[in-house]
Amino acid sequence: MTLELALLGIGVGTLSGFFGIGGGTVSVPILLYLGFGIKEAIGISVTQMVAGSLMAALIHRRRQTYSAGDVKYFGYGGIVGAAAGGYLVKVLESAVLEWMFLSIVAFTLARLAFSAPVPTRPEIVNRPLYSLVGGGVGVFSGLLGVGGSILMTPILVSFMGFPLKKASAVGLFFVMFTSISAFGTLAWLGLIHFYEGLVMALSSLVGIMLGIALLNKIKVAQYKRILVIFYIIIFAVTANKLIAG
């Protein structure tokens, strides 16, 4: 199982860096197929996201993809929201978590499919709003074991005027806050499998570097098409798992 987790970590890290996601949208369904329960999968996924998002934030800072001065307020709200979501993992039924996860993927797919890769409105800069949005997204992050960028990216593009590639980078920056918060909460509740999570976390660092390098080479229109296809695949895999039981 160690080899499978290491390979999964590299793959998830690459997709995370390229698509600006925390990795839970990929790792949670695959971990389910590997035989882990939904709550175990969420704990392993969150552990990987802590390491991957920290590496990504460092790389994007060096590349000056965005300024953390304003966007960090997304993260402040996300910390509170993710802690609340992490607690809800303990009290909700597994079936509820699984169907909520599928619903979030469906929403994201719809928003991305109909959004423009080039913004059609000025970029909104509003720190209180950033905190509010971050808090709401953070609840789903901690609850579903995803970093939050699965929701954050389409919100930034569709409603707040962010360019697609910048939104992806900011979404992964947001993951740094929510994943740390969710990790602390889940660890306190005894829902973290440290060995499996550490294997995925360390192996994902290589993938993160590769994914961000690929992101900076692709044209934005091509990037959007690939992003939509990626979410269609995740939706199909997760739906099949839930329907098949």
Domain spans in the chain, listed from the N-terminal domain onward:
2-244
Residues near 171 by Cβ (< 8 Å), separated by ≥ 6?
A: 20, 21, 147, 148, 149, 152, 153, 156
Output b/e per residue, 154-178; b: 16+ Cβ within 10 A. Answer: bbbbbebebbbbbbbbbbbbbbbbb
Q: What is the pLDDT of residue 5?
A: 94
Cα–chain center distance at 190: 22
Tens digit of each residue's pLDDT (9 = 90 or more) over 180-221: 888 888 899 888 888 999 999 999 999 999 999 998 899 888
- For CA atoms 224, 229, 235, 241, give the dihedral sign: negative
Contact 86, 189 (CB under 8 A): yes
Contact 191, 42 (CB under 8 A): yes
Tens digit of each residue's pLDDT (9 = 90 or more) over 87-122: 787 787 777 777 877 787 787 778 777 777 677 778
Phi first, then psi, for residue 212 (nearest 5°) are: -70, -35
* Ramachandran area for residue 9 (φ above 0: left; ψ -120 to 50: alpha; else beta): alpha
Tens digit of each residue's pLDDT (9 = 90 or more) over 123-170: 898 999 999 999 988 887 777 766 677 778 888 888 888 888 888 889
* Residue 122: DSSP 8-state: P
